[in-house]
């Protein structure tokens, strides 16, 4: 019974496509991207899980990453990724969010769009360019400012990643802030609140979850970045001493994979360990992006008071 | 209404702009293509290899030799196509094993895993190594450590200790060197240069590279890192030495003479870390195939000339 009904439905489905070939094309495109996502997840998991079977929990908590010695402890690498990204967020969150508020609330309407699109151009610069700028200009500055012998350290990587994730944070939180209903702001102003009081007590609380989501998207952008990070992070697989020393080189996950995958023989232990790192990274970004998605989706309910 | 019109116009402008860019781009590509292959057909002989194409991939050490000889080769036989890609020796072997390229480039012998992978293929891949040049791995330091008036001499074991992280400051290595932290620069695991270096300077004493070492992808990257980082030490192929770094003279062990890498000292077997550079094929290349012709070209006087021009050494048995 169910089968018949389903097949009738399917038939209807395809008949519909026959009438509307362009819709079939759209369907195929959408379907294809889903297939690609699942295939990527499947292959990363297939190779990556192998690493977890081989090395066990050591892959995550092991302290030494020395592929040539057969030591695959990725903790310094995971630590490097998280350190660099948190440094970047510490810089990028105030920068991005304050700029978003400034653009949406303070800037005159006439130049708002221009300024916004100029800043969003930052997002369209290829990451290798950020890498160049980081290596050639930011790293020497960091080195001479802090008196260290080379500037490709965690701080430099954080600075570069901060610049790269500002457009993401700015774009998303800007949208949310400008979507705060005008009536609320007008009500606050009519009650005698100053512009700053309105922003602090009305706009920010309403846009709060959207801003949080934008920060998570910024995190996702920063942790997945590879080329620029490879160029400026210093590529040393060791936890800095002391651990919060931003003036030591680190070796984030993405950089390790990019650097070592080319030389790893297919099927070797190193190869599967690198896929294991990929899986860790995949899971990290997947969780963060899903959280951001959930938070953004929750947002319209808050604004549903608007008629 | 007005807004919509504006949008329409800007979209049109954007599309036209892209078309113009495309045209300019393809035109530039056309001219670039022409200038690379001037017409100069010397042997009008009709055979399949003349219109064939091959791809090489692998070691970044061999890359400059392969690039230069591919250009020279295509200048003579202008209907052939020889494409050269980098990647590292590991990529060279895995591409040959997977049958992705016709010729691999490697600066080390295959590892056991690679040999097993080759055997596991069906039909089994038979790795053939064709030595095309001789190279030395040279230890280099930033001029802040040593220079030509104050040269640095080390034994292999001392070098090994430095790379293993047994010393923190330069003046622990030798009195008179600066009291500054040593910055160790290495290649990524699997690199042929790294393999050769560790074979001679680390493995004999069971040393392993310190986790404090910074990894760089490729010889040029190590070179620019050592050039730009005070108190750094690294290693590069002989063809990558520059005036902006100080090259260390090495001795096999204490008591033996320190040897500076030169063409004579390497070819004469005096310099302690030398190796062959290889082209790799699956089985002996079919006689008369393009791969065969290309390898022959590299072994010819002209090819060996190119090897030398790129800063490497001719094969000893070709060497006068």
d(CA A179, CA B197): 61
Return all residues near A248 (Cβ < 8 A) that are at least 6 apart. Answer: A153, A154, A234, A236, A238, A240, A241
Q: Which residues of B touch A234 (CB under 8 A)?
A: 214
In contact, A94 and A165? CB cutoff 8 Å: no
Cβ of B189 and A263 within 8 Å?
yes
Q: How confident is the model at residue B38 (pLDDT cuts 50, 70, 90)?
A: very low
Q: Which residues of A touch B180 (CB under 8 A)?
A: 149
d(CA A68, CA B215): 13
Contact of B212 with chain A, judged by CB distance below 8 Å, is answered with yes
Strand B103-106 to B53-58 pairing = parallel
Tell me what pLDDT residue B19 has: 61
Q: How confident is the model at residue A304 (pLDDT cuts 50, 70, 90)?
A: very low
Cβ of A260 and B230 within 8 Å?
no
Which of B116, B190, B194, B218 is the best mutation test for A, with the most CBs of A within 10 A? B190
**What does each C-alpha distance from A114 to A44, A107, A108, B121 come to in angstroms?**
41, 11, 11, 59
Six token digits for residue B49: 């290899």
Six token digits for residue B30: 């056309």
Decide which of 3.90.1150.10, 3.30.420.240, 1.10.3720.10, 1.10.10.10 is the CATH code for A58-306.
1.10.3720.10
End-to-end CA distance of chain A: 45
Tell me what pLDDT residue B25 has: 63
d(CA A54, CA A33): 32
Q: How confident is the model at residue A278 (pLDDT cuts 50, 70, 90)?
A: very high
Taking alpha carbons only, the member of A229, A249, A203 closest to residue A103 is A203
Tell me what pLDDT residue B317 has: 65
Contact of B208 with chain A, judged by CB distance below 8 Å, is answered with yes
pLDDT of A283 strictly over 50? yes
Mean pLDDT of B130-153: 91
pLDDT of B111 strictly over 90? no
In contact, B92 and B58? CB cutoff 8 Å: yes
Contact of B143 with chain A, judged by CB distance below 8 Å, is answered with no
Contact of A242 with chain B, judged by CB distance below 8 Å, is answered with no
Q: Which residues of A touch B189 (CB under 8 A)?
A: 67-68, 260, 263-264, 270
Tell me what pLDDT residue B167 has: 93
Give the relative orientation of helices A75-101 and A154-178 as an angle to the nearest 10 degrees.
40
pLDDT of B179 strictly over 60? yes
**Phi/psi at B137 (5° precision):** -95, 120
Q: How confident is the model at residue A306 (pLDDT cuts 50, 70, 90)?
A: very low
pLDDT digits (tens, 9 = 90+) for A35-92: 998 998 898 888 888 888 888 888 888 889 988 778 899 999 999 999 999 999 999 9
In contact, B106 and B59? CB cutoff 8 Å: yes
pLDDT of B41 strictly over 90? no
Q: How confident is the model at residue B24 (pLDDT cuts 50, 70, 90)?
A: low
Mean pLDDT of B269-288: 89
In contact, B228 and B222? CB cutoff 8 Å: no
Which of B116, B144, B169, B189 is the best mutation test for A, with the most CBs of A within 10 A? B189
Tell me what pLDDT residue A66 has: 87
Q: Which residue of A has its CA nearest to B194?
A: A68
Least confident of A264-268, B3-7, B89-93, B131-135: B3-7
Mean pLDDT of A221-227: 90
Contact of B311 with chain A, judged by CB distance below 8 Å, is answered with no
* Summary mean pLDDT of chain B: 84
> Is the peptide bond prior to A186 cis by the omega test (within 30 degrees of 0)?
no
Six token digits for residue B205: 């004493």
pLDDT digits (tens, 9 = 90+) for B286-305: 888 899 989 989 998 889 98
* Summary mean pLDDT of chain A: 86
Cβ of B88 and A263 within 8 Å?
yes
pLDDT digits (tens, 9 = 90+) for B218-263: 889 999 999 989 999 999 999 889 999 999 999 998 889 999 998 8
Tell me what pLDDT residue A307 has: 42
DSSP state at residue A263: T
Q: How confident is the model at residue A269 (pLDDT cuts 50, 70, 90)?
A: confident
d(CA A291, CA B17): 40
Cβ of A237 and B215 within 8 Å?
yes
Identify the three-state secondary structure at position B258.
Answer: coil
d(CA B307, CA A270): 33
Chain A, 186-225: which have a CB under 8 Å from a chain B CB? none
Sorted by where each begins, the domain ranges of chain A are 58-306
Nearest to A265 among B93, B229, B232 (CB): B93
Q: Which residue of A has its CA nearest to B212?
A: A236
Tell me what pLDDT residue B195 has: 86
Tell me what pLDDT residue B23 has: 61
Q: Which long-range contacts (CB under 8 A, 24 or more apart) does B172-181 make?
A: B176/B150, B177/B145, B177/B146, B177/B152, B178/B144, B178/B145, B178/B231, B180/A149, B180/B144, B180/B230, B180/B231, B181/A149, B181/B231
pLDDT of B53 strictly over 70? yes
d(CA B293, CA B48): 12
Mean pLDDT of B158-173: 93
Q: Which residue of B has its CA nearest to A64?
A: B211
Identify the three-state secondary structure at position A94.
Answer: helix
Q: What is the CA radius of gyration of chain A?
A: 24
Cβ of A262 and B117 within 8 Å?
no
Six token digits for residue B150: 């104050």
Six token digits for residue B282: 């699956």
Q: Which residues of A touch B90 (CB under 8 A)?
A: 262-265
**Phi/psi at A192 (5° precision):** 100, 5
Which of A131, A265, A271 is the best mutation test for B, with the most CBs of B within 10 A? A265
pLDDT digits (tens, 9 = 90+) for B211-226: 889 999 888 999 999 9
Six token digits for residue A21: 């070939």
Identify the three-state secondary structure at position B271.
Answer: coil
Q: Which residues of B touch A268 (CB under 8 A)?
A: 113
Mean pLDDT of B87-106: 91
Return all residues near B268 (Cβ < 8 A) that are at least 6 apart. Answer: none
Cβ of A263 and B90 within 8 Å?
yes
Mean pLDDT of B41-52: 64
Tell me what pLDDT residue A5 has: 55
Q: How confident is the model at residue B12 (pLDDT cuts 50, 70, 90)?
A: low
Percent of chain B past pLDDT 70, that is, above it, reads 84
Tell me what pLDDT residue A6 has: 60
Tell me what pLDDT residue B152 has: 92
Torsion angle (degrees, nearest 10) of CA A277, A278, A281, A285: -170
Nearest to B213 among A69, A150, A236 (CB): A236
DSSP one-letter string for B104-153? EEESSPPPHHHHHHHHHSSSPP-EEEEEEEEEEEEEEE-TTT-BTTB--E
Contact of B228 with chain A, judged by CB distance below 8 Å, is answered with yes
Return all residues near B98 (Cβ < 8 A) that are at least 6 apart. Answer: A266
Contact of A113 with chain B, judged by CB distance below 8 Å, is answered with no
Instruction: Name the residue with higher pLDDT: B46 or B189.
Output: B189
In contact, B284 and B278? CB cutoff 8 Å: no
Tell me what pLDDT residue A32 has: 92
**DSSP H or E run through B316:** none
**DSSP H or E run through A22:** helix A21-55
Taking alpha carbons only, the member of A231, A263, A269, A236 closest to residue B195 is A263
pLDDT of A155 strictly over 60? yes
d(CA A257, CA A80): 13
Mean pLDDT of B166-186: 92
Q: How confident is the model at residue B20 (pLDDT cuts 50, 70, 90)?
A: low
DSSP state at residue A305: G
Tell me what pLDDT residue B104 has: 94
């Amino acid at each position: 019974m169910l089968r018949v009904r389903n097949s009738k439905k399917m038939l209807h489905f395809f008949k519909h496509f026959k009438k509307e070939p362009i819709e079939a094309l759209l369907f195929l495109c959408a379907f294809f991207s889903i297939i690609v996502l699942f295939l990527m997840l499947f292959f990363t998991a297939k190779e990556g899980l192998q690493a977890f079977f081989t090395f066990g929990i050591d892959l995550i908590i092991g302290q030494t990453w020395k592929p040539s010695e057969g030591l695959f402890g990725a903790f310094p690498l995971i630590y490097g990724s998280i350190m660099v990204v948190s440094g970047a967020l510490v810089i990028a969150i105030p920068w991005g969010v304050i700029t978003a508020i400034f653009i949406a609330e303070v800037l005159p309407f006439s130049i708002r769009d221009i300024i916004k699109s100029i800043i969003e151009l930052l997002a369209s610069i290829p990451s290798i360019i950020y890498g160049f700028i980081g290596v050639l200009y930011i790293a020497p500055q960091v080195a001479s400012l802090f008196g260290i012998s080379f500037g490709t350290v965690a701080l430099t990587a954080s600075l570069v990643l901060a610049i790269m994730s500002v457009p993401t944070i700015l774009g998303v939180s800007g949208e949310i802030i400008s979507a705060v209903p005008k009536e609320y702001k007008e009500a606050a102003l009519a009650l005698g609140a100053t512009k700053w009081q309105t922003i602090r007590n009305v706009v920010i609380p309403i846009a709060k979850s959207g801003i949080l989501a934008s920060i998570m998207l910024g995190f996702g952008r920063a942790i997945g970045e590879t080329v620029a990070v490879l160029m400026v992070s210093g590529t040393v697989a060791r936890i800095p001493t002391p651990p919060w020393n931003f003036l030591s080189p680190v070796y984030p996950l993405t950089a390790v994979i990019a650097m070592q995958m080319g030389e790893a023989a297919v099927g070797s232990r190193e190869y599967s360990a690198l896929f294991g790192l990929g899986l860790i990274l995949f899971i990290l970004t997947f969780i963060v992006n899903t959280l951001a998605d959930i938070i953004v989706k929750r947002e319209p309910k808050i604004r549903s008071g608007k008629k | 209404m007005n807004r919509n019109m504006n949008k329409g116009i800007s979209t049109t402008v954007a599309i036209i702009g892209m078309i113009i860019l495309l045209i300019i781009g393809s035109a530039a590509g056309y001219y670039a293509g022409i200038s690379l292959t001037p017409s100069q057909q010397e042997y009008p002989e009709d055979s399949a290899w003349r219109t064939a194409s091959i791809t090489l991939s692998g070691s970044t050490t061999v890359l400059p030799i392969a690039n230069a000889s591919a250009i020279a080769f295509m200048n003579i036989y202008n209907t052939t196509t020889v494409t050269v890609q980098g990647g590292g020796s590991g990529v060279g072997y895995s591409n040959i094993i997977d049958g992705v390229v016709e010729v691999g480039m490697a600066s080390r012998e295959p590892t056991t895993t690679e040999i097993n992978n080759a055997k596991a293929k069906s039909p089994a891949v038979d790795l053939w190594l064709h030595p095309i040049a001789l190279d030395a791995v040279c230890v280099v330091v930033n001029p802040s450590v040593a220079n030509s008036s104050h040269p640095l001499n080390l034994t292999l074991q001392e070098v090994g200790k430095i790379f293993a992280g047994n010393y923190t400051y330069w003046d622990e290595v030798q009195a008179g060197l600066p009291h500054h932290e040593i910055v160790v620069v290495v290649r990524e695991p699997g690199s042929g240069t790294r393999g050769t270096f560790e074979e001679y300077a680390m493995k004999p004493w069971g040393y392993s590279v310190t986790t404090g070492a910074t990894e760089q992808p490729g010889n040029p990257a190590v070179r620019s890192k050592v050039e730009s980082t005070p108190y750094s030490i690294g290693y590069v192929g002989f063809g990558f030495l520059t005036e902006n770094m100080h090259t260390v003279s090495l001795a096999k062990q204490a008591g033996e003479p320190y040897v500076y890498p030169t063409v004579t000292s390497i070819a004469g077997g005096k310099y302690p870390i030398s190796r062959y550079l290889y082209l790799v094929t699956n089985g002996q290349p079919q006689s008369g195939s393009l791969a065969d012709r290309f390898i022959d070209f590299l072994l010819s006087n002209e090819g060996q000339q190119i090897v030398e021009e790129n800063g490497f050494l001719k094969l000893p048995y070709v060497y006068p």
